[in-house]
């Protein structure tokens, strides 16, 4: 794992190629085991339409959304079981950015060919002093980030397989999303597509 000083890409800290190809393969294998016990699902948006992204999680918490709104849950919506532990490799990436406490949520987003994610803030966590750390796997995703107001100007850049990125400080509450993916560019996922892991601290650290 590459733990160099992150570079700043459009004001955001990114470690390009944080995970080697072998590590990306190992993490993908971990995610496959996670998906077996915690099958990916499509959360409903506030207006009752399923999101184009399928999600699952590792760690204590998973983000969830339905007509009642969004929140973190501690058991899988279909199986009723707790989520499996966060893979070690993902924890190591988090620790490159944050050492005060480990994350208690690793959200896994799966983008198929036409999936995207609209601009939103990550603001359901207890302490915004902790970052959100993201790891990208598979096809490139066009990441868009603005400021703390929905109408703030935005800029965008590509996240590639193995890249790690952190939303911290003035970016912690910035609106962000994924415009589109370059489907089929990466050979990592057999059927194409992009996986994104976001590591977060949902509950207050002791």
Nearest to 53 by CA among 105, 106, 114: 114
Question: Which position among 31, 57, 108, 117 is part of the footprint of ligand SIN (CB under 6 A)?
Answer: 117
Q: Is residue 122 part of the contact set for Mn ion (CB under 5 A)?
A: yes
Beta-carbon contacts of residue 187 (< 8 Å; ≥ 6 apart): none
* CB closer to ligand SIN, 96 vs 181: 181
The three-state secondary structure class of 66 is strand
Residue 107 bridge partners (DSSP): 57, 198
* CB closer to ligand SIN, 56 vs 198: 198
Q: Which residue is nearest to Mn ion (CB)?
A: 122
Q: Is residue 104 part of the contact set for Mn ion (CB under 5 A)?
A: no
Beta-carbon contacts of residue 63 (< 8 Å; ≥ 6 apart): 43, 55, 57, 70, 71, 72, 73, 105, 107, 124
Residues 184-203 that bind ligand SIN (CB under 6 A): 196, 198
Question: Which position among 13, 134, 161, 171 is part of the footprint of ligand SIN (CB under 6 A)?
Answer: 134
Please, what is the minimum distance in Å from the beta carbon of residue 144 to ligand SIN? 10
Euclidean distance between CA atoms 52 and 113, whole angstroms: 10
Euclidean distance between CA atoms 110 and 141, whole angstroms: 11
110 binds, among ligand SIN, Mn ion, none (CB under 5 to 8 A by kind): none
| CB contact at 8 A, 29 and 23 | no
Residues in the interface with Mn ion (CB under 5 A) total 1
> Residues in the site for Mn ion, rule: CB under 5 A?
122
> Residues in the site for ligand SIN, rule: CB under 6 A?
109, 117, 134, 141, 143, 159, 176, 178, 196, 198
């Amino acid at each position: 794992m590459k733990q160099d000083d992150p570079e700043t890409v459009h004001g955001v800290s990114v470690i390009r190629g944080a995970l080697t190809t072998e590590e990306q393969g190992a993490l993908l294998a971990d995610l496959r085991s996670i998906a077996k016990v915690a099958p990916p699902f499509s959360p409903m948006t506030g207006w009752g339409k399923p999101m184009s992204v399928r999600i699952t999680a590792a760690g204590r918490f998973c983000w969830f959304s339905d007509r009642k709104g969004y929140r973190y849950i501690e058991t899988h919506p279909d199986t009723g079981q707790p989520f499996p532990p966060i893979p070690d490799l993902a924890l190591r990436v988090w620790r490159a950015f944050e050492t005060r406490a480990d994350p208690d949520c690793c959200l896994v987003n799966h983008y198929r060919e036409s999936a995207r994610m609209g601009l939103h803030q990550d603001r359901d966590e207890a302490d915004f002093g902790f970052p959100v750390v993201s790891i990208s796997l598979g096809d490139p995703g066009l990441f868009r980030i603005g400021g703390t107001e929905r109408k703030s100007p935005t800029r965008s850049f590509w996240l590639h397989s193995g890249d790690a990125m952190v939303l911290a400080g003035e970016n912690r509450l910035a609106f962000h999303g994924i415009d589109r993916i370059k489907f089929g560019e990466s050979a990592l996922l057999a059927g194409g597509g992009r996986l994104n892991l976001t590591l977060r601290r949902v509950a207050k650290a002791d």
